[in-house]
């Protein structure tokens, strides 16, 4: 699995699951905005991008 594999197995897996939950929640939030008529893929890409920016700021 690339970067995720190696030491920390279960912890890395849990972090990945949590990130997936955050992305899903963000996607739902973006979908909830009135006037949005974009594809799920576009919405998901925006959610992931926003989360990535948040992660970079925290480091």
Q: What is the pLDDT of residues 4-44, one digit of tens each?
A: 555 667 888 888 888 888 888 888 887 776 665 678 788 88
Token pair recorded at residue 49: 């991008």
Distance CA 59, CA 41 (A): 27
Count CB atoms within 10 A of the CB of residue 31. Answer: 13
Residue 1 has pLDDT above 50, yes or no: no
Distance CA 7, CA 58 (A): 23
What does pTM read for this prediction? Answer: 0.47
Ranges of each domain in the chain: 11-58
Token pair recorded at residue 25: 């929640």
- CB hemisphere CA count around 8 (13 angstroms): 9
């Amino acid at each position: 699995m690339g970067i995720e594999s190696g030491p920390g197995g279960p912890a890395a897996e849990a972090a990945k699951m949590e990130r997936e939950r955050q992305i899903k929640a963000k996607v739902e939030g973006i979908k909830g905005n009135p006037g949005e008529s974009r594809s799920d893929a576009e919405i998901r890409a925006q959610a992931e991008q926003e989360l990535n920016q948040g992660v970079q700021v925290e480091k």
